[in-house]
Amino acid sequence: MRHCLALDLKDDPALIEEYEAHHRAVWPEVLQHLRAHGIRELEIFRLGTRMVMVMDTDDAVFDPARMAAAERDNPRIREWEALMWRFQSPTPFTPEGRKWTPMQSVFRLGDTA
């Protein structure tokens, strides 16, 4: 299944560059965590401070609640998430206490004749 989520970055060019530098060298534990929870592919796109994450998941394995629980139980993943939150901020449409927020699909070419 494909998931699209949105999140903003703080409007600071130095922080944005540092954020992107971290994503050129994602910690191995983070990559392992993502793959272990059924994420087959993940891409993050940026336009200014707005980011969109596209994830393709294995529905037989991917469970957002189980993944969130595993994140809370893993000190290294919590450390990564705390580090990333230095650069990130919720979108104006993000519910309180959330980070990456699911986007609604409004068009899919494959659904047309």
Q: Report pLDDT for 68.
A: 94
Handedness of CA 11, 13, 15, 20 (dihedral sign): positive
Structural domains for the chain? 2-89 (3.30.70.1090)
Query: What is the model's pTM?
Result: 0.92
Burial 59-97 (b: 16+ CB within 10 A, else e): eeebeeeebeeebeeeeebeebeeebeebbebbeebeee
Q: List the one residue out of 31, 7, 28, 3 whose CA is nearest residue 84.
A: 7
Q: Report pLDDT for 39.
A: 98
Q: Report pLDDT for 113.
A: 85
The pLDDT profile of the chain, 113 residues, written as one tens digit per residue, is: 999 999 999 999 999 999 999 999 999 999 999 999 999 999 999 999 999 999 999 999 999 999 999 999 999 999 999 999 999 999 999 999 999 999 999 999 999 98
Q: CA 2, CA 54: separation in Å to the nearest integer?
A: 7
Give 52-85 as a 3 state SS string.
EEEEEECCCCCCHHHHHHHHHHCHHHHHHHHHHH
